[in-house]
């Protein structure tokens, strides 16, 4: 099974570069299933029904979330009930939706199960249950159901939280990839048969500040006066995608692709195997 993960999709530029490139990448690299973090896909904050349909049509199979999941609350309630859209599973009890789904994926002549888990860290985040204990419980339950292939999107501000979840679960899950900071890290690796990347980085504008127009962030940094962040109408964009080969729950290979809107080639980075 070969799966792919895209994150964090920021506004129209992120959706546009996905629509223009994802189908070709899926075909060229023979990708069976695509996961994407879409909590910033609509104007940089939240996800609308219209934009989710746009991403599904572009070739994404399931959309994960994070601290901006409920920015467009009414539409998100509908999406969580009707579409392959997840929110962090460790939101407190009573919050609509779920952060875990099991999919059946056709791989050659057989069907294989893949569990996709969405979790959120605690540092600088909304109130959530302890993600580490929560993840341990989820993985134990999946093992009892004989689900071997497990992918986790860990949405967190602190790199240390992401590294802790990796140290806890390496050898027990297939892959863990971090989201939220919009800044890609250079630590793609496979350890104890688990693929790991601290943060995939954004898919959207690369020539501003975390996908947003630079004016407000600069004003806030220099004067303390903030404002509403806006996604630029025109910019240089980037698509970042992590690809993982999984056999019987074990990551056997992983690499990251970067596609720049103004360059034809794909930049490929292979995982270090420890």
Taking only the tens place, the pLDDT of each residue in 210-267 is 888 889 999 899 998 888 888 998 899 999 999 999 999 999 999 999 999 999 899 9
- Nearest-5° Cα angle at 242, 241 to 243: 115
Tell me the fold of 2-273. Answer: Purple Acid Phosphatase; chain A, domain 2 (3.60.21)
**Where do the structural domains in the chain lie, given as residue ranges?**
2-273
On the question of pLDDT at 142 being above 90, the answer is yes
pTM of the model: 0.95
For residue 203, the 8-state DSSP code is B
Half-sphere exposure of residue 145: CA atoms within 13 angstroms, side-chain side? 14
CA dihedral of 96, 102, 103, 104, whole degrees rounded to 10:
-150
User: What dihedral angle (degrees, nearest 10) is formed by the CA atoms of 266, 211, 2, 51?
Assistant: -120
- Would you state the pLDDT for residue 109? 73
Residue 68 annotated among the catalytic residues of the structure: yes
At residue 181, the 3 state secondary structure works out as coil
* Cα gap 18→61, rounded to integer Å: 13
SS3 state at 116: strand
pLDDT of 50 reads: 97
The active-site residue, picked from 68, 155, 180, 182, is 68
């Amino acid at each position: 099974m070969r799966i792919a993960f895209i994150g964090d999709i920021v506004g129209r530029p992120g959706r546009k570069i996905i629509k223009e490139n994802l189908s070709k990448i899926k075909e060229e690299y023979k990708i069976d299933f695509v996961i994407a973090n879409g909590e910033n896909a609509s104007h940089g904050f939240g996800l609308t029904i219209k934009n989710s349909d746009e991403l599904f049509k572009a070739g994404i199979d399931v959309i994960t979330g994070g601290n901006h999941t409920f920015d467009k609350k009414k539409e998100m309630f509908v999406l969580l009930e009707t579409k392959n859209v997840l929110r962090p599973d460790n939101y407190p009890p009573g919050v609509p939706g779920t952060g875990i789904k099991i999919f059946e994926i056709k791989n050659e002549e057989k069907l294989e199960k893949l569990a996709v888990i969405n979790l959120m860290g605690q540092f600088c985040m909304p109130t959530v249950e302890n993600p580490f204990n929560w993840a341990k419980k989820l993985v134990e339950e999946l093992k009892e159901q004989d689900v071997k292939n497990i992918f986790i999107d860990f949405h967190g501000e602190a790199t240390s939280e992401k590294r802790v979840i990796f140290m806890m679960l390496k050898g027990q899950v297939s892959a863990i990839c971090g989201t939220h900071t919009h800044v890609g890290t250079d630590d793609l690796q496979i350890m104890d048969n688990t693929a790991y990347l601290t943060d995939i980085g954004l898919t959207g504008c690369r020539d501003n500040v975390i996908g947003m127009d630079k004016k407000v962030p600069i004003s806030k940094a220099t004067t303390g006066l903030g404002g509403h962040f806006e996604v630029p109408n025109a910019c240089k964009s980037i698509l970042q995608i992590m690809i993982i080969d999984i056999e019987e729950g074990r990551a056997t290979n992983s690499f990251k692709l970067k596609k720049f809107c103004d360059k034809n080639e794909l930049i490929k980075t292979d995982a270090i195997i420890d």
